[in-house]
Amino acid sequence: MSGQTAPAVENLNFEDIRDGLSSGQILLVDVREPNEFEAGHIPGSLLVPLSQFSVTEIPDAGDRRIVLSCRSGRRSLTAAAMAFEQGLPIDAHYVGGFIDWVAAGGPVDTGL
């Protein structure tokens, strides 16, 4: 991908994530670490920890848009850059992350 510029990463909010999950239009990839995910995560999200991030761990999203999420929106941007370098341009992340999800009253699942 050398010579190409990474795509701009769109900041999605609580409503975007909630609506995208409920309609089946997004595949939410949580890049936090397993202990964080196990303690609480957005229902329907998939764990691909940033510490061992590889796009090969992300299943085929089909028609769904891949959206990255983390605790606060910082690691998800790092993961977007890593995904681009690995050949999978991901153009959206949950800007507020899990902190925003909980603050907005979103449901939480626990366990791996």
41: annotated active-site residue: no
**Among residues 70, 79, 80, 92, which one is catalytic?**
70
C-alpha dist (Å) from residue 98 to 7, 40, 44, 45, 85? 23, 9, 13, 11, 25
- Asked if 17 and 26 count as a contact pair (C-beta separation under 8 A), the reply is yes
Residue 16 DSSP SS3: helix
Our CA angle for 9, 87, 5, nearest 5°, is: 50
- Phi then psi for residue 60, to 5 deg, are -60, 125
Known catalytic residues? 70
